[in-house]
């Protein structure tokens, strides 16, 4: 290998490491502060590394804030919405990709047009709807509006379209019912799409802010994002505890990303550019 | 039965969309023409009066703040995302690790990011001011100085959005056919020439897509604003969505807030249209 190549490689690694440190800094710093002693947090100049990790910060924040309950609420809402969206989207995407029916083009256009509508326009009437159904401070109130999206339908349709229609026709001739084909052949073939939609939906619902802020005011129904907002009030300016809470609330999404990152990378462009 | 099947398949999606998207659009338009009571019931029909008063006052002011925010955050975010993607796409050992690191902000919610930056931007004990002090720059009251607050919130937004921009650009890079690079290599093109003449034109649709989506996203910023500045200091960060939230859920002026939401939508459609008009010509599709 030539010296120039090696130098190039070295520089590239240096750039990668430097960029990583910058990108990761806020997350790393939050973790470091979450392990600090209260006296260490307030020293000036600020310390980076805690003298000895103080794990009890996590217990303390869990004692003063219902951390477990927030996590559970977010987990329930995100999981149910994800499952619901995968089901509703795969069904409608299947219809749009494989079936012919009256009004198909118009219905598809109607679906797609909803992708252009920003949620600000829908949020006030939706809040009024959920309130009139007496669903404030309830799981259904947090879940129902997100059980279907045009985006999900569109994404999965792109994956279904890659399955040749002749395959379905052949299966039908062999006596395979439509539903059986959908479940045993189409869905498994569209697996990457389902995983992409699942990963994307789970993360975005987990990170929702304004909707749960509006429909929950009961301390026990808050999700982690709203919990994060109130950490500041409930913990004063005790940054070591606030960060312990923040890290606990961030952890599930980070773990989830660790698993789902490749699906996000692969699926992201599936809808917008040909592969 | 056979003929009903397609309709049964789309019925669940259609029902949810009808209740939570189609109906609300019409309802918003309707509400925007009325004075509403604090419960959100339309009371007095006033026609376009909300629109007229918004266009002469609060809305224009908050729109200006929002456009500034878009201009501060979107270009920087795109360039940074692209640089990270180019770095992490090199055929090196361990790039998977760096790819994961660069997409990590994707897992950080705006609420979490805002909380962490609130600590880092603390004017007295915060690490950002400390580092600025080391570099010989004076302390900045990031969130309480009207000249800096929007930049400070913008910085958080750029970081939060970095994971998304990176993932998008990376998937764009992965779609560039390998043969093009091989051909260029045969022609003796160096890494810069390859990036400039092959990579960038080939991923221009991705960049364009990221731009359009990024602008739409930035127009809708709310969480960071609500948590870090609550629209202040002296309305310096009072973006449109924050105004809508205030109007509807603090002052219970659902009619006026609906009018603002619809105006925002119109502005967003206009900007998206503008980008397509100006951008499409420069984008190279395969």
Each residue's pLDDT tens digit, A34-47? 999 988 888 878 88
- pTM value? 0.91
- Per-residue model confidence (pLDDT) at position B117: 97
Q: What is the ipTM of this complex?
A: 0.90
A176 or B160, which is more confident: B160
On chain A, the residues whose CB falls within 8 A of the CB of B98 are 16, 19-20
Helices (H), B174-195: 178-186, 191-194
Mean pLDDT value across chain A: 90
**pLDDT at residue A127 tops 50:** yes
Listing DSSP states for A122-181 in one string gives: HHHHHHHHHHHTT-TTSHHHHHGGGS--HHHHHHHHHHHHTS-HHHHHHHHHTT--HHHH
**pLDDT at residue A193 tops 70:** yes
On chain A, the residues whose CB falls within 8 A of the CB of B168 are 268-269
**pLDDT at residue A267 tops 70:** no
- Nearest Cα to Cα of residue B116 among A150, A181, A191, A25: A25
Check if B210 contacts A (Cβ < 8 Å). Answer: no
- Per-residue model confidence (pLDDT) at position A154: 93
Q: Assign A272 a pLDDT band (cuts: 50, 70, 90).
A: very low
What is the C-alpha to C-alpha distance for residues A103 and B71, in angstroms, rounded to an integer? 42
Check if B227 contacts A (Cβ < 8 Å). Answer: yes
Q: What share of chain A is helix, strand, coil (3-state, %, to 5)?
A: 75, 0, 25
Point out the residue among B27, B167, B249 whose CB comes nearest to the CB of A264: B167
- Per-residue model confidence (pLDDT) at position B218: 96
- Nearest Cα to Cα of residue B73 among B128, B150, B163, B170: B150
**Residues B95 and B88: beta-carbon distance below 8 Å:** yes
Point out the residue among B20, B40, B191 whose CB comes nearest to the CB of A122: B20
**pLDDT at residue B154 tops 50:** yes
B42 strand-pairing partners:
B36
**pLDDT at residue A252 tops 60:** yes
**pLDDT at residue A270 tops 60:** no
Contacts of A166 (CB under 8 A, 6+ apart): none
Residue matched to tokens 């869905």: A187
B125 strand-pairing partners:
none
CA B120 to chain CA mean position, Å: 22
- pLDDT, average across residues A65-91: 96
On chain A, the residues whose CB falls within 8 A of the CB of B27 are 125, 128
| Whether A88 and B21 lie within 8 Å, measured CB to CB | no
Query: How far A235 CA lies from chain B's nearest CA (Å)?
Result: 12
- Nearest Cα to Cα of residue A78 among A203, A193, A181: A203
Q: Assign A214 a pLDDT band (cuts: 50, 70, 90).
A: very high
Mean pLDDT value across chain B: 91
| Whether B106 and A256 lie within 8 Å, measured CB to CB | no
| Whether A120 and B6 lie within 8 Å, measured CB to CB | no
What is the C-alpha to C-alpha distance for residues B231 and A80, in angstroms, rounded to an integer? 33
Q: Assign B233 a pLDDT band (cuts: 50, 70, 90).
A: very high
Check if B223 contacts A (Cβ < 8 Å). Answer: yes
**pLDDT at residue B16 tops 90:** yes
- Per-residue model confidence (pLDDT) at position A268: 60
Residues 70-99 of chain B whose Cβ lies under 8 A from any Cβ of chain A = 83-84, 87-88, 90, 92, 98-99
Listing DSSP states for B83-105 in one string gives: HHHHHHTSS-TTHHHHHHHHHGG
What is the C-alpha to C-alpha distance for residues A268 and B173, in angstroms, rounded to an integer? 12
């Amino acid at each position: 290998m030539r010296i120039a190549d090696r130098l190039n490689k070295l520089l590239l690694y240096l750039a990668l490491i430097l960029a990583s440190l910058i990108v990761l800094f806020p997350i790393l710093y939050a973790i470091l502060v979450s392990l600090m002693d209260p006296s260490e947090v307030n020293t000036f100049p600020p310390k980076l590394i805690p003298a000895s990790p103080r794990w009890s910060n996590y217990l303390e924040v869990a004692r003063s804030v219902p951390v477990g309950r927030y996590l559970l609420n977010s987990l329930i809402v995100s999981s149910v919405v994800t499952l619901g969206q995968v089901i509703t989207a795969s069904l409608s995407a299947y219809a749009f990709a494989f079936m012919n029916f009256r009004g198909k083009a118009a219905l598809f256009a109607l679906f797609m047009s909803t992708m252009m509508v920003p949620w600000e326009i829908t949020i006030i009437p939706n809040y009024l709807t959920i309130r009139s159904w007496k669903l404030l401070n309830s799981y259904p109130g947090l879940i129902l509006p997100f059980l279907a999206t045009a985006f999900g339908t569109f994404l999965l349709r792109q994956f279904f379209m890659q399955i040749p229609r002749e395959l379905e026709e052949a299966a039908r001739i062999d006596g395979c019912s439509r539903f059986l084909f959908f479940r045993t052949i189409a869905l498994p073939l569209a697996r990457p799409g389902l995983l992409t939609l699942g990963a994307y939906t789970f993360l975005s619902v987990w990170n929702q802010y304004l909707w749960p802020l509006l429909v929950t005011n009961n301390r026990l129904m808050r999700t982690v994002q709203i919990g994060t907002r109130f950490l500041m009030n409930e913990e004063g300016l005790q940054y070591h505890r606030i960060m312990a809470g923040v890290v606990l609330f961030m952890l599930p999404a980070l773990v989830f990303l660790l698993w789902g990152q490749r699906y996000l990378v692969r699926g992201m462009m599936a809808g917008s550019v040909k592969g | 039965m056979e003929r009903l099947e397609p309709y049964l398949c789309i019925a669940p999606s259609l029902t949810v969309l009808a209740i939570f998207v189609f109906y609300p659009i019409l309802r918003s338009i309707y509400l925007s023409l009325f004075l509403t009571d604090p419960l959100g019931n339309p009371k007095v029909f006033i026609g376009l009066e909300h629109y007229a008063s918004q266009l002469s006052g609060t809305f224009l002011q908050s729109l200006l703040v929002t456009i500034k925010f878009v201009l501060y955050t979107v270009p920087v975010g795109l360039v940074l995302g692209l640089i990270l993607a180019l770095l992490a796409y090199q055929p090196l050992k361990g790039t998977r690790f760096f790819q994961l690191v660069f997409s990590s902000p994707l897992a950080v919610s705006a609420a979490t990011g805002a909380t962490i930056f609130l600590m880092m931007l603390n004017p007295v004990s915060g690490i950002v001011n400390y580092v600025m002090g080391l570099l010989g720059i004076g302390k900045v009251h990031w969130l309480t100085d009207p000249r800096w607050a929007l930049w400070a919130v913008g910085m958080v937004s750029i970081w939060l959005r970095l994971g998304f921009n990176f993932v998008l650009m990376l998937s764009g890079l992965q779609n560039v056919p390998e043969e093009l690079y091989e051909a260029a290599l045969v022609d003796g093109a160096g890494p810069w020439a390859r990036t400039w003449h092959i990579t960038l034109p080939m991923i221009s649709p991705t960049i364009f897509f990221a731009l359009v989506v990024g602008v739409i996203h930035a127009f809708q910023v709310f969480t960071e604003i609500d948590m870090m500045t609550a629209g202040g200091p002296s309305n310096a960060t009072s973006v449109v969505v924050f105004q809508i939230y205030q109007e509807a859920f603090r002052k219970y002026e659902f009619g006026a807030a609906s009018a603002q939401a619809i105006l925002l939508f119109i502005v967003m459609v206009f900007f998206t249209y503008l980008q397509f008009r100006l951008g499409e010509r420069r984008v190279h599709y395969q």
